[in-house]
Copies of this chain bind each other. A is one copy, B any other.
Amino acid sequence: WAARRAVTSEVCVPQGLGRLESAGNLHNLRLAAGRTAGEYRGDLPFLDSDVYKWLEAAAWTEAEHGLTADLAGARDAVVALVRAAQRDDGYLNSWFQVAKDGERWTDLRWGHELYCAGHLIQAAVAHHRATGEEGLLAVAVRFADCIDSVFGTDKKIDGVCGHAEVETALVELYRETGEQRYLDLAAYFVDRRGHGLLNPEATRGTAAGPAYCQDHLPVREANAVAGHAVRQLYFLAGVTDLAVETGDASLRAAAERLWTEMAARKTHITGGLGAHHAEEDFGDPYELPNERAYCETCAAIASVQWNWRMALLTGEAKYSDLAERTLYNAVLPGVSLDGTRWFYANPLQVRDEHLDRHGDHGVSRKAWFRCACCPPNVMRLLASLPHYFVSGDADGIQLHQYATGSYEAVAGTVRVETGYPWSGGIAVTIERGGEWTLSLRVPGWCADVEAGVNGVAVDTVVPDGWLRIRRAWQPGDVVSLNLAMPIRLTAADPRVDAVRGCAAIERGPLVYCLEEGDQPQPGLDAFVLDPSAALTADHDPGLLDGVTVVRGLSRRRTAAHPAWWPYRSGAGPTPPTAPTPPTAPTDPLPFTAIPYYAWANRQDGAMRIWLPMA
């Protein structure tokens, strides 16, 4: 992760401020602050949130690397601007202060005011932790108090936000300030969603239904994730936070139930979530298309955040399994290797002759989006990524993810050295010891694990995904873990109709794809994997900032196209025998697969993850 995170701190975060300037986000806050004149720029009501996400990313970057004086000064100016834009009563939202003045809290379904407040709170908490500076936190507290004075069953407005986010933020604000009211307010927002507050009338026409905002059922009654994926996932992060703080068993049960449903039926192999472009919806169970997979980068980020909370709540390894898969294969594809271009949607396939690459959701990376929620979201996640690697308690240290670095917990301090994800060798050196348990996650994809302490092998039976080693650790003790990383061919549940008869290539935590430009012939629609041929892995340090490629053999369907109709019948009750065009495969051709996260960094062209086997 070091190279990818260096790009974040050295390219993405410094560049982000310029993007927010040119896209108008800062201009809109200046209008709200009375510092400039003009019209609100853009037609979206949540542009402030991009600024807050960027402030959060800057805070985490400062905490780890520090900021250049220029960048710190620019960041401080943004903080001052946010403070200046806040109304005297604590309210803060440039859309409703400038473009829709006087309409505050009148459009909870689409207005995103509480959503923006949530991102402000998260940025303020990060800023406070990183800098110790109180200013932004005071802004967030004033806005939270403003919200608390308005929202409640017995207050002026009984309502929730169309886009969840404020729930998890309020729990974090409670943790940061100790103020019980914020926890109670989070509980209120969690409990009141699902009672139709956002959809008082039957929806009609092309408008989204109540499930879009998770307003169709209270979360304790829901059996399936539904609607807009990012909304659902941010909400479940808040639900889980609340369950952690309150010990509410029914909330925990709901979160566990919905997670299992989502993982088992609505998750792409990449960890990507959201099957529909239309309404950015989860789609039905097992509806997991390839070329039209939406898999919004923000949904993957939200999934990582939710999985981390579930891991802390339950201690179960599977949540960090899914987080690992999602980080490498659903978050990381969202940003180019050089940190300058982005994906909003992350399809699993691009067909030959794909025509339409325009727009936010197209399959060519863009420098920024009209709706630019994803880029600063990637920045804040990657800037804070080590937070998701290790947990600790009085009894020990749990390593959830493997990346080189030093990790400090209450019980002790460890240093990790690893060639992950290219090799599965991990060395953990104890820097500060004591008698405690070192817990090492053995990923679900790993069928062959070896471990030792100071060169002496230890038992590696890990029924629940955790290898636990307890002893009185001395500084300098070295725990070695070796996770075998053979190339794997993976098939899907047959109810995933979209990939019937196909295999995906995986190695370690990485899902692989084929890009047209790496193959000896153009086009991938006619590609057929030869599953009987050997697959080999080779590390190429000069390719795509250094990747391990997988090579094998394939065939191509003959391209003959004699008929105008692509369907062929067999007569009577026997199965059809002659699909057209004839598919007599060609001679074997080599192929080269790259990690999916690195796709679309060279040229446009066809791409696919799932490979037909016949």
B359 adjacent to A204 (CB under 8 Å): yes
Number of chain A residues close to chain B: CB under 8 A? 100
Asked whether A211 and B359 contact (CB < 8 A) given A264-B561, A493-B566, A565-B444, the answer is: no
Is there a chain B Cβ closer than 8 Å to A224's Cβ?
A: yes
Residue contact B612 to A494, C-beta cutoff 8 Å: yes
Residues A447 and B571 in contact, CB atoms below 8 Å apart: yes
Residues A441-468 near B (CB distance < 8 A) = 444-445, 447
**A window 547-583: CB within 8 A of B:** 552, 557, 561, 563-576, 579-581, 583
Given known contacts A359-B204, A370-B204, A557-B495, A525 and B564 CB-to-CB distance under 8 angstroms: no
Chain A binding surface, main DSSP class: loop
Q: Which of B283, B353, B583 contacts A285 (CB 8 A)?
A: B353
Chain B residues, Cβ within 8 Å of A552:
573
| Alpha-carbon gap, A561 to B285, bound state (A) | 13
- The reply to whether the CB of A496 lies closer than 8 angstroms to some CB of chain B is yes
Residues from chain B with Cβ under 8 Å of A283 in the complex: 291
Which of chain B's residues have a CB closer than 8 A to the CB of A486?
Answer: 571-572
Option from B206, B354, B493, B525 in Cβ contact (under 8 Å) with A495: B525
User: Which residues of chain B have C-beta atoms less than 8 A from A267's C-beta?
Assistant: 565-566
Of chain B, the residue at the smallest CB distance from A448 is B571
Q: Is A525 within 8 A of B359, CB to CB?
A: no
Total copies of this chain within the assembly: 2
- A356-B211, A369-B205, A500-B502 as given contacts; A318 in contact with B564, CB under 8 Å: yes
CB atoms of A574 and B489 under 8 A apart? yes
Q: A355, B224: Cβ atoms under 8 Å?
A: yes
Question: Which residues of the other chain, B, contact A208 by a CB distance below 8 angstroms?
Answer: 358-359
> Among the listed stretches A68-76, A80-88, A426-434, A528-536, which one makes contact with chain B, having 4 or more residues with CB under 8 Å of it?
A528-536
A-B pairs with beta carbons under 8 Å apart, 18 shown: A204-B370, A211-B356, A264-B564, A269-B567, A276-B277, A277-B278, A278-B361, A281-B356, A284-B353, A285-B353, A287-B292, A349-B497, A490-B570, A497-B502, A500-B500, A500-B502, A503-B575, A535-B572
Nearest first, the 10 A-B pairs at minimum CB distance are A205-B370, A493-B566, A488-B569, A209-B358, A531-B575, A284-B351, A491-B576, A490-B569, A277-B278, A535-B573
Besides A488-B570, A493-B580, A501-B501, 16 other CB < 8 A contacts?
A209-B356, A226-B355, A267-B565, A277-B277, A284-B354, A285-B351, A289-B498, A447-B571, A489-B574, A489-B576, A490-B567, A490-B568, A491-B576, A491-B579, A500-B500, A503-B576
